[in-house]
Amino acid sequence: MEPTILAEVSGNIATIGYGLAAIGPGIGLGILVGKTAEAQARQPEMRSQLQTTMLIGVAFTEILALLAIVTGLIF
Amino acid sequence: MGGFFPEAILFDGTWFEFNRVQLVRLIVLAVVLIAMCIIASRAKLVPGRVQSVIELVIDFVNNNIIANTLGLKDGKRFAPMLITMFFFILSMNLAGVIPGLNLAGTSVIGLPLLLALWTFVTYVGAGIKKHGFLGYLKAETMPPGIPWPIYILLIPIELLQVVVIRWASLTIRLLANMVAGHMMIVVFIGMTHALLFSGDWLIAISPFAGAMAIGIYGFEIFVGALQAFIFTMLTAVYIQLATSDEH
């Protein structure tokens, strides 16, 4: 008897890996930017300094998602 | 992945292989250098339109990057390097969205790696000059005010951070952003194309895909500028960490 295929996944499994890897940095960026917005609302005069600090933090969080892109392409 | 690397134009198979990425880099380099030389040689006290745009960018680097991290006084030594870096990365990134070039100079690993190693050499050099070799290692790997057993864990991690992770993450950040941006544009423009010529009711969706492609295109301009800013910013932060008196 012929096996019946009901569902099939084709393509690279790395795309699912990227999706999973984007969850953590996504939450991290949300917290980071949200807290910065809060701090800016409390102290508008600190705005530029807070923004700079936020962007450094964003860079460190973002690298996790970017590593997922790179590993997906390499392996 | 293989399709990403363009074919060689000249000197195929040798060390000096010359392909489209190098061509884009050379064009951008020549344009920026010549434009800067012309603007600098005609610099006036009351700036014209082009000169004031350049001065705006330099002021931006001075006020937003150097003043917030190194401080304007200490940062004066590193200002030429940081400003050069910002202009260089910005122009190379923006080459990715200029029609006709369409490929960022930073989207192949060589250039980000070179820039990141420049950063690495600069901050290690500045730190050693300030503290001496052992003093620099101590300043970077042994933050004060921590009970001593923690140092057993902390020193290898911090050492790895200083020696490898910092410049490697700078490289990967810039590279992955540019590669991902290029792919996003290709995917959305390709999707618009495929929908438009599908000869089906799917044609009705193609304007939305086209609008998305234009949106992604604008987003890439933003990302290019942001990555130039972040790279320069992190370089300034690393130099500041290396040369600060204590943490």
The reply to whether residue A73 touches residue B64, judged by beta carbons under 8 angstroms, is no
Q: What tokens does B209 get? A: 């895909």
Angle of helix B20-41 relative to helix B49-60, nearest 10 degrees?
110
Which of B16, B19, B57, B6 is closest to B36 using CA atoms?
Answer: B57
Would you report the helix, strand and coil content of chain B in percent, each value rounded to 5? 75, 0, 20
Q: What is the pLDDT of residue B28?
A: 92
What is the average per-residue pLDDT within B136-145?
82
Which of B11, B202, B17 is closest to B110 using CA atoms?
Answer: B17
Chain B stretch 160-199, residues whose beta carbon is closer than 8 A to a beta carbon of chain A: 169, 172-173, 175-177, 179-180
Whether the per-residue pLDDT at A8 is higher than 70: the answer is yes
The reply to whether residue A52 touches residue B233, judged by beta carbons under 8 angstroms, is yes
Angle of helix B79-94 relative to helix B20-41, nearest 10 degrees?
130
> What residue type is B71 in one-letter code?
G
The reply to whether residue B69 touches residue A52, judged by beta carbons under 8 angstroms, is yes
Would you call A59 an interface residue with chain B, using a CB distance cutoff of 8 Å? yes
Q: What digits encode the pLDDT tens for the residues B191-230? A: 888 888 887 788 888 889 899 999 999 999 999 999 999 9
Q: What is the pLDDT of residue A13?
A: 77
For residue B123, give every residue at least 6 positions away whose Cβ sits within 8 Å of its Cβ, in sequence order, or none: B235, B238, B239, B241, B242
The reply to whether residue B69 touches residue A58, judged by beta carbons under 8 angstroms, is no
**Would the ipTM clear 0.90, i.e. be above it?**
no
pTM listed for this prediction: 0.85
Q: What digits encode the pLDDT tens for the residues B8-24? A: 666 666 666 778 888 88
d(CA A10, CA B89): 38
Interface test with A, best of B1, B113, B169, B223 (most A CBs within 10 A): B169
d(CA B37, CA B236): 26
Interface test with A, best of B61, B119, B172 (most A CBs within 10 A): B172
Whether the per-residue pLDDT at B2 is higher than 50: the answer is no
> What's the N-to-C CA distance of chain A in angstroms?
37
Whether the per-residue pLDDT at A28 is higher than 90: the answer is yes
Would you call B64 an interface residue with chain A, using a CB distance cutoff of 8 Å? yes
Determine the Cα angle at B138 with ends B137 and B144, to 5°: 145
Report the share of chain B in percent with pLDDT over 90: 34
Whether the per-residue pLDDT at B247 is higher than 60: the answer is no
Q: Which residues of B touch A69 (CB under 8 A)?
A: 176, 179-180
Q: Which residues of B touch A63 (CB under 8 A)?
A: 169, 172-173
